Amino acid sequence: MVIKPMVRSNICINAHPVGCAKDTQRQIDYALSKKAARGVKSAKEGGKAPKTALVLGCSTGYGLASRIAAAFEYGADTIGVSFEKEASEKKAGTPGFYNNLAFDREAQKAGLKSFTFNMDAFSDECREAVIEKAKEWGVKFDLIVYSLASPVRTDPDTKVLYRSVIKAVGQEYKGASLDMMSGKLTGEMVAPIAEGADILNTIKVMGGEDWERWIDALKGADLIDENCKSVAYSYIGPKLSHPIYRDGTIGLAKKDLEAHARSISKKLAENGGAAWISVNKGLITRSSAVIPIIALYLGCLFKVMKEKGNHEGCIEQMERLFSERLYTADGVVPTDNEGRIRIDDWELLPDVQAKVDELMAKVNEGNVADVIDLAGIQKDFLNINGFAVDGVDYEKDVERMDVID
């Protein structure tokens, strides 16, 4: 069959197996090129690099890019965890299912050990499976990446199911809505005020409780190596988005994540390690596409940063995180005054934000395609699900949905 993207309200509901694999390969190729350009040496070669990495939320976005950087630039063996819908011969899987297949295939070709668990990373059963695999390999983790993105989490102790929400706190938030595929401004999108247990539920899903539970489980199993580094990801963004992001339910969960980072860092410090929050650049993701104002803002941001020559996608961000923050020549991890790693630094440059503000003020229904990088955000949005990937023949029949060739 010929597979075309099925998009509804800024959500793509299908995936292209060949396109997903091709985009994963693109990121691998980038990591390999930077390895050569920077002269990166693996730990086995005497370099400052992770030996064995655990990536929680390994299948898409920053998690996938982290695993690629750790493996293909820094030579680490990796265990990944993600919860994906598996494909059958006739039915498609989720994009992450295909990304994981591509990663494991290429890791094997490169002589790197890898294993991917298709499990709920919030569950203790998953923790037990990872612990068993690490013991089977005879390894300890010296890098733990926490990059889970899920709308729900079941507490392993109480069995209560929590659902996160994207809501404002204190007062309703309104922002322009952009239909990315049509390029139309569809009026104001409203984020209601959080009520009842909304804040608690969102913190339970997106905060740091589960991250610390992972650290405790691995520490209890004696699977955390000396000088272990652990990192989780967050976003701050511009002031215009703070009411819905930094100061909304999502932002409160991220502040909880930061609090747990400090607690985790103290535990890892017992063996010379540390934990950080990395504040990353804004990118088109499944979630950002449906948050008020964010898609329009990112269209303006991409336009400005591409003109300046400092635009980055997931793999570029994670490669810079590893090479210029986590694994520096002198071993020092640069942070802000709150102990956070900042690779959103180029996004928040004053001249970048000033130009973005100019574009945001003049964009309207008639000039969207000219003022913002509409083509760029459309491509990024489609690439997430394996569409509009360079080098893929989308007119070619896909005979099986459970393979990536």
The residues assigned a catalytic role are 245
Residue 306 vs residues 295, 299, 302, 373, 377: alpha-carbon distances, Å: 16, 11, 6, 9, 12
CA distance 33 to 238: 32
Q: In this structure, how many other beta carbons lie within 10 angstroms of the beta carbon of residue 104?
A: 16
Total Cβ atoms within 10 A of residue 311: 18
Nearest CA to 258 among 320, 330, 336, 197?
A: 336
**DSSP β-bridge partners for residue 189:** 175
Instruction: Tokens for 49, please give them.
Output: 């690099």
Q: Which residue has the tokens 């006739």?
A: 90
CB 191 within 8 A of CB 294: no
Q: Which residues contact 43 (CB under 8 A, 6 or more apart)?
A: 49, 50, 51, 74, 75, 76
Question: Helix crossing, 124-137 with 209-220: angle to 10°?
Answer: 40
Beta-ladder partners of 342? 279
Task: Compute the distance between CA of residue 197 and CA of residue 374 in angstroms, rounded to an integer.
Answer: 37
Helices then strands (H, E): number in the chain? 12, 13
